């Protein structure tokens, strides 16, 4: 019987999966495959935290397929060679997949599509990840957007009310003779003798399509109400927690949009829903930017910063930032939350990024690389845009002279100190007034109440701010 290969990548779901839907409509049997090909995504192949999530997401997808009578075929190596081999083994007439938008993936997919077509196979790709693909939106002059507000105005007028496809109820299993690698052989998660550094992740997250649906349910029932205000406070669940599920394609933005549009919201919640949709718009904007300016994952979008006087990196200082040992409580709390859970609250991401790029005056790429390796939602477009936004080097960015004061930020958004005390427990005995700037206490008092915490921050916040502004003034 003729078959269609569905090449899964970061679309690890069965519902609202255009490539899978098209394969089902073909009437042929379906061969679901995932090919682990790290080298093809260099220099931004998945980091350690993303790989740990991927292991569990692939396991969940295979379980979902088996419940419907199918299974996931795992391969590793060169994607084109594996697809050609699978096509021969299954007598496939077509290969379908959903598009990716990172520069390396675009180049790879173009090469694969051309080669498979030359072999006489039908090859089709689809949009499963975005509300609007990057080339479908343009300014009045026909160019790409660099400012979010007009981008969002254009996109929001196109959203409509999507009707996502439901998952198939039954699937025909691939031939028994078709060999699949063992998931463990992909070496995606830490294994002995490595320490189980990801253990804390799974107290917070449930990878897979089922986990994504549950996260959306929880958001709709809870955090969306008051989202516009509560999303800035790291001491509470005020956000959707959908970012890793979106990154791995365990849920689509169309599904989220459809769910939010289908609910009957009280009038007071409608602005919160609109605010969240705007945040989905920022995700779209990030992909728009990376597609049109692919060099920005490595280089400043704004060339004015190419001669900026970034400080030389001290490895010990960078390590202290990475490990949450800066002596600035809100910064340390964020970096420890990241290490323990694979995620960091967005407000705190901006604070720790500002500290790195402005108080330490390190180039944003050092932070982007660390986030890439430690975030479970490490998305190249979002990561690039987020770091360049805070550093002031990107599109529609915060100006460089906007320097977050981590003390006042903590006082405003963690006024009771719950977030800091949770992630920096050695400060638990400090009085509230001293919690966010403990170095202002008498040295003897600090040594008594928090003996294991740095007595001084890595840099003086006021002096380092002035130095950053001086460097910016010179570069102008």
> What is the Rg, in whole angstroms, of the alpha carbon atoms belonging to the chain?
24
The SS3 call for residue 96 is strand
Q: Which helix (H) or strand (E) holds 36?
A: strand 29-36
| CB atoms inside a 10 Å sphere around CB 259 | 16
Average pLDDT over every residue of 133-158? 96
Q: What is the DSSP string of 213-259?
A: HHHHHHHHHTTTTTHHHHTT-TTS--S---HHHHHTTSS-HHHHHHH
- Given a cut of 80, is residue 1 above it in pLDDT? no
Other residues' Cβ atoms within 10 Å of the Cβ of residue 301:
20
pLDDT average, residue stretch 9-21:
98
Q: What is the arithmetic mean of pLDDT over 184-199?
A: 92
pLDDT of residue 476: 64
C-alpha span between 230 and 240 (Å, rounded): 11
Longest dimension (CA), the chain: 79
Q: Which helix (H) or strand (E) holds 126?
A: strand 122-126
246 in Cβ contact with 375 (< 8 Å):
no
pLDDT score of 2: 84
The predicted pLDDT at position 110 comes to 98
- pLDDT tens column, 77-90: 999 999 999 999 99
- Alpha-carbon distance of 406 to 460, in angstroms, equals 12
pLDDT exceeds cutoff 90 at 475: no
Cβ count within 10 A of residue 37? 18
Cα(291)–Cα(373) distance, integer angstroms: 22
Tell me: pLDDT of 61 over 90: yes
Note the Cα 157 to chain centre separation in Å: 25
Q: Which of 334, 338, 336 is nearest to 404 (CA)?
A: 334
Q: Give the pLDDT confidence score for residue 399 in this predicted structure.
A: 82
The tens digit of pLDDT for each residue in 319-360 reads 999 999 999 999 999 999 999 999 999 999 999 999 999 999
**Per-residue pLDDT at 150:** 97
What pTM was estimated for this model as a whole? 0.96
Which pLDDT value is given to residue 379? Answer: 96
Question: How far from the centroid of its chain's Cα atoms is residue 123's Cα?
Answer: 28
SS3 state at 48: helix
pLDDT interval class at 97 (50, 70, 90):
very high
Cβ neighbours, 10 Å, residue 463: 10
d(CA 73, CA 60): 13
Own/partner pairs, 136-139, CB within 8 angstroms, 24+ separation: 137/288
Q: From CA 344, how far away is CA 247, in angstroms rounded?
A: 15
User: Cα–Cα distance between 244 and 378 in angstroms, integer?
Assistant: 8
Distances, alpha carbon 463 to alpha carbons 143, 313, 328, 410, 438, in Å: 41, 18, 15, 19, 17
Indicate whether 216 pLDDT > 70: yes
Map out the domains of the chain with their CATH numbers.
3-129 (3.40.50.620), 130-163+209-292 (1.25.40.80), 303-475 (1.10.579.10)
Distance CA 71, CA 69 (A): 7
DSSP symbols for 286-307: HHHHHHH-GGGGTS-SSGGGGG
Q: What are phi and psi for residue 144, nearest 5 degrees? A: -75, 155
Angle of helix 364-374 relative to helix 48-67, nearest 10 degrees? 30
Cα–Cα distance measured from residue 113 to residue 107, given in angstroms and rounded to the nearest whole number:
10
Backbone dihedral region of 160: left (phi > 0), alpha (psi from -120 to 50 degrees) or beta? Answer: left
Cα–Cα distance between 377 and 25 in angstroms, integer? 32
Q: Bin 249: left if φ > 0, else alpha if -120 < ψ < 50, else beta.
A: left
Query: Starting at the edge strand that comes first in sequence, how are the strands of the sheet with 92-98 ordered?
Result: 73-76, 29-36, 3-8, 92-98, 122-126
pLDDT at 397 over 80: no
The H-assigned helical ranges of 68-141 are 79-90, 103-118
Q: Which long-range contacts (CB under 8 A, 24 or more apart) does 472-476 make?
A: 472/308, 472/400, 472/401, 474/309, 475/304, 475/305, 475/307, 475/308, 475/309, 476/304
């Amino acid at each position: 019987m003729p078959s269609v290969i569905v090449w899964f990548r970061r679309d690890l779901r069965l519902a609202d999966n255009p490539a899978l839907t098209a394969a089902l409509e073909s009437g042929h049997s379906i061969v679901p495959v995932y090919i682990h090909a790290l080298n093809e995504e260099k220099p931004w192949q998945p980091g350690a935290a993303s790989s740990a999530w991927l292991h569990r997401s692939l396991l969940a997808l295979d379980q979902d397929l088996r419940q419907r009578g199918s299974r996931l075929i795992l391969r590793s190596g060169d994607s084109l060679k594996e697809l050609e081999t699978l096509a021969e083994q299954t007598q496939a007439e077509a290969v379908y997949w959903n598009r990716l938008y990172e520069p390396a993936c675009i180049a790879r997919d173009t090469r694969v599509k051309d080669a498979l077509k030359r072999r006489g196979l039908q090859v089709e790709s689809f949009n499963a990840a975005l509300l609007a693909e990057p080339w479908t939106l343009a300014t009045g002059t026909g160019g790409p957007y660099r400012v979010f507000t007009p981008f969002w105005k254009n996109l929001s007028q196109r959203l409509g009310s999507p009707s996502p496809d439901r998952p198939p109820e039954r699937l025909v299993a691939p031939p028994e003779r078709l060999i699949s690698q063992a998931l463990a052989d992909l070496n995606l998660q830490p294994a002995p003798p490595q320490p189980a550094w990801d253990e804390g992740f799974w107290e917070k997250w449930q990878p897979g399509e089922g986990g994504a649906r549950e996260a959306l349910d929880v958001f709709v029932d809870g955090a969306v109400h008051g989202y516009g205000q509560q999303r800035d406070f790291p001491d509470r669940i005020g956000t959707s927690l959908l970012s890793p599920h979106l990154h791995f394609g365990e849920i689509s933005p169309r599904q989220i949009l459809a769910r939010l549009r289908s609910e009957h919201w009280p009038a007071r919640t409608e602005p919160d829903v609109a605010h969240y949709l705007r945040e989905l718009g920022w995700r779209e904007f990030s992909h728009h930017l990376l597609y049109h300016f692919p060099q920005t994952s490595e280089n400043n979008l704004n060339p004015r910063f190419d001669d900026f006087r970034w400080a030389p990196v001290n490895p010990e200082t960078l390590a202290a930032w990475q490990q949450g040992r800066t002596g600035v409580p809100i910064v340390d709390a964020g970096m420890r939350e990241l290490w323990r859970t694979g995620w960091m609250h967005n407000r705190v991401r901006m604070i720790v990024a500002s500290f790195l790029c402005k108080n330490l005056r390190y180039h944003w790429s050092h932070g982007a690389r660390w986030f890439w390796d430690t975030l479970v939602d490490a998305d190249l477009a979002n990561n690039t845009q987020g770091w360049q936004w805070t550093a002031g080097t990107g599109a529609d960015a915060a100006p460089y002279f906007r320097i977050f004061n981590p003390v006042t930020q903590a006082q405003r958004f963690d006024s009771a100190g719950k977030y800091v005390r949770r992630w920096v427990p050695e400060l638990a005995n400090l009085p509230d007034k001293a919690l966010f700037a403990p170095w202002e206490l008498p040295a003897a008092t600090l040594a008594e109440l928090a003996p294991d915490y740095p007595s001084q921050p890595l840099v003086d916040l006021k002096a380092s701010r002035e130095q950053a502004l001086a460097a910016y003034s010179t570069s102008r």
